[in-house]
Amino acid sequence: MSMLRQVLYGIALLGALGLLIWVQETRIDVAKGKTELAKAAAKTAREDADRNLATANTLTETLKQERDAQSQLRSLQDQLRLGLAKRERTIEELKRENDDLRNWAAQPLPDAARRLRERPALTGAAAYQDWLSGRGAVRATGDQPTQ
């Protein structure tokens, strides 16, 4: 019986060894699958990072261009303010020097010109359009008003 027992132990040992090898192969296959998934995820993440970097670079360049444009606009605005101040000083000097000009500048604006400057408080484009439509059409210079 001892020989039979040894053979049975040998068969059991071989079966356990085969089962162990099969389990190890299964674990290796699962690990290979996870590795492939991880590689695909890493590749996707790398592509996303590259796209995000390109977008960030584009936005940075756009921001730089907008800041340069704002700087140019501020410079132009300063130049326009200086020109306006110079013109206002010139007008004041001319008013002080010329009595006719001073008298003309002191007169009130005509009613037509005053109406052009009057505006109600408008909120939105529709209100502005309604205000423009309701003002009455301006007659062409050749049209004579009917009496």
CA distance 50 to 126: 46
Output the pTM of the full model: 0.45
pLDDT at 108: 86
Q: What percent of the chain has pLDDT over 70?
A: 90
pLDDT tens per residue across span 86-144: 999 998 888 888 888 778 888 888 888 777 777 777 788 888 888 777 765 555 566 55
Angstrom CA distances, 27 to 14, 87, 103, stand at 20, 88, 103
